[in-house]
Chains A and B, each alone.
Chain A
Amino acid sequence: RKEVEQDPGPFNVPEGATVAFNCTYSNSASQSFFWYRQDCRKEPKLLMSVYSSGNEDGRFTAQLNRASQYISLLIRDSKLSDSATYLCVVNEYHYGGSQGNLIFGKGTKLSVKP
């Protein structure tokens, strides 16, 4: 079974801290990568896509290392409102196929304290 693995946390950090989440995926045929955010008892929402060259959106930076099959998310200057569960998501393919499905990691819980 192809897997997406994440540290479940929880990560408890003070406001203003920098926190990093890591994720590994087992299917080398995976093509697209994402971080979703899920607040308690709510639906997941896209935080950012992860591109090969890495990308940044304000305080959030995502990196992809295809050789190591590793994805990361860095949050700088954490806010109370960043408290949530962060899901690593991979668009998985089978070799020779064109249709993929999203595979979700189990999520890393972040709690930002005042």
Chain B
Amino acid sequence: EAQVTQNPRYLITVTGKKLTVTCSQNMNHEYMSWYRQDPGLGLRQIYYSMNVEVTDKGDVPEGYKVSRKEKRNFPLILESPSPNQTSLYFCASSLTRLLKGSYNEQFFGPGTRLTVL
């Protein structure tokens, strides 16, 4: 089954304790992205990757790191989590990078609900 998987689905942690949220897709997609979703603010992009070893900042990259060593995986790293990073996180992928006029669908993972105390 074609899908985007994220782990863990739920996580409660404490301030300053490094964590990684994994994301994996089995559709051979080039483009992957991380979003956070907060009430009243909608979905905001954290980082994206157009292909292996190519990553770039989105709208809210502060406090996050990513890597893209393999095409299928795009982990999100919080080196020193803080309470303002409590949110619902979505990983997404699409076939190619978002070229002008393209209508590539973005497929989302099920989400990771993170609470930082």
Answer whether residue A11 sits at the interface, using C-beta atoms and an 8 A cutoff: no
The answer for the CA separation of A45 and B111 in the assembled complex, in Å, is: 12
Of the listed stretches B16-24, B41-49, B66-74, chain A binds B41-49
* Most chain A beta carbons < 10 A, residue from B33, B42, B90: B42
Knowing A31-B100, A32-B101, say if A42 contacts B106 (CB, 8 Å): no
Which residues, 32 to 70 on B, are CB-close (under 8 Å) to A? 33, 35, 40-45, 48, 50, 58
Question: A102 with B98: in contact, given A44-B43, A107-B42 (CB under 8 Å)?
Answer: yes
Do residues B109 and A43 form an inter-chain contact, with CB atoms below 8 A? Answer: yes
Do B106 and A93 have beta carbons less than 8 Å apart?
no
A49 at the interface (CB under 8 A from B): yes
User: B113's closest neighbor in chain A, by CB?
Assistant: A41
B12 at the interface (CB under 8 A from A): no
Q: Are A43 and B99 in contact (CB under 8 A)?
A: no
The CA-CA distance from A43 to B113 in the complex, in Å, is 12
| B90 engages A44 (CB within 8 Å) | yes
A9 at the interface (CB under 8 A from B): no
Chain B proximity mask over A83-114: 1 for CB below 8 Å, otherwise 0: 00001000101000011111011110000000
Cross-chain pair count, CB within 8 angstroms? 55
State in angstroms the CA–CA spacing of A66 and B102 once bound together. 16
Contact of B100 among A34, A45, A87, A93 (CB under 8 A): A93
Measured between alpha carbons, how far is A46 from B92 in the docked complex, in Å?
A: 12
Closest chain A residue to B38, Cβ basis: A106
CB contacts (< 8 Å) of B43 on chain A: these are: 44, 87, 104
Q: B42, A49: Cβ atoms under 8 Å?
A: no
Contact B100 A101 (CB under 8 A): no
List 15 A–B pairs whose Cβ atoms lie within 8 Å, in order of A's numbering.
A32-B98, A43-B111, A44-B90, A49-B103, A91-B98, A91-B102, A99-B97, A99-B99, A100-B99, A101-B48, A102-B33, A102-B45, A102-B106, A104-B35, A105-B42
